Structure 1
Amino acid sequence: MINNDAFAKRLQKVIDYYGESSSSFAEKIGVQRSSISHILSGRNKPSLDFVLKILSSYPEVEMYWLLNGKGVFPTNSGKEISILSKTNSSKNRIEKSKVINRIVIFYSDGSFEDFEK
C-alpha cells in the first residue's frame, strides 16, 4: 500500500528537480492539472496509469523509489553513464569508460541551456 503523504513528497521532489510547475509537469506527463493538485494535497491516490506516465516521461525516476521511497533519485546523478554503441559486427556493447562532460539543450524558442561538469 502506498503512503499518500510520502508519495506526494516524492512527487513534489521530482517536480522541483526538473524545475517544473505543477501545470507544466501535468502537461508533460499527459494528465489534467487537477490530478497533480489532488495527489499533492492527499485527496487522491495515484493510479497505476499516473505512475507509468511519470516513469515514461522521466526515465531518471525509479519506480521503486517513487512508490516506496527506497532506492535513489535521480538515478544518474553523479555516476558514470554506460553508453550503448554499435560495434563492427552490429552487436551492442557497453562502454563504461565514457563519461558525459557537457550537455546542451536547445528549446523551440531558440534559447538553450548548457550544462558542464
Structure 2
Amino acid sequence: MINNSQFASRLTTIMTYYQLSASGFADKIQVPRSSISHLLSGRNKPSLDFVLKVIKEFKEVELYWLLNGKGTFPASTSPAPDKGQIDERKGGDTPDSAITAHHRTIDRSKKALEKIVFFYTDGTFKEYMA
C-alpha cells in the first residue's frame, strides 16, 4: 500500500528536480491542478493513470521508486551536472561522493544562491528564496 505522505515527498522531489511548480507539474502531465494539490496534501492516493503519466513524461522516474521509495532518482546512470543522485535507501540524502564531485565542478564566480528547500519526514517542505 502506498504511504500518502511519502508519495507526496517523492512528488515534491520530482518537481524540485525539474524546477516545476505544482501547477506546472500538473500541466506537464496533463492532469487537473487540484489533483496535484490533493496528492501533496495527502488527501488522495495516486491513481494508476496518474502514475503512468508521471513515468511516461519523466523518463528519469522509476516506477518502483515512485510507488515505494526503493531505488534511486533520477534513474539515469549519469545525472545532470548540477544535480546529485538521490538515494532514498540512505534517507534521501545525496551521496557524499556526488557532493564532493559536484562541489569541484562549481565555478563560484558564476553561481548565486537561488533557493534552499527543507524536506520534512511528514511530506511537507519549506522553501526559502534568496
**Smaller-chain TM-score bracket:** 0.5 to 0.7
More helix by share: 2
Provide the TM-score with structure 2 as the length reference: 0.59
What is the distance in 2 between the residues matched to 1:77 and 1:11?
A: 20
More strand by share: 1
What is the distance in 2 between the residues matched to 1:35 and 1:77?
A: 31
- 2:62 is aligned to 62
1:95-106 matched pairs, under 5 angstroms: none
What is the distance in 1 between the residues matched to 2:59 and 2:70?
A: 16
What is the distance in 1 between the residues matched to 2:43 and 2:5?
A: 10
Aligned partner of residue 72 in structure 2, secondary structure: coil
Give the C-alpha shift of residue 23 in structure 1: 0.4
- 1:75 is aligned to 75
CA RMSD of aligned residues (A): 1.1
What is the distance in 2 between the residues matched to 1:2 and 1:25?
A: 21
- 1:50 is aligned to 50
Give the C-alpha shift of residue 66 in structure 1: 0.3
Letter in 2 for 1:36: I
Q: Unaligned stretches of 5+ in structure 1?
A: 80-117
Identity %: 63
Q: Unaligned stretches of 5+ in structure 2?
A: 80-130
Give the C-alpha shift of residue 77 in structure 1: 5.0
Dislocated runs of 4+, deviation >4 Å: none
Provide the TM-score with structure 1 as the length reference: 0.65
What is the distance in 2 between the residues matched to 1:68 and 1:2?
A: 7
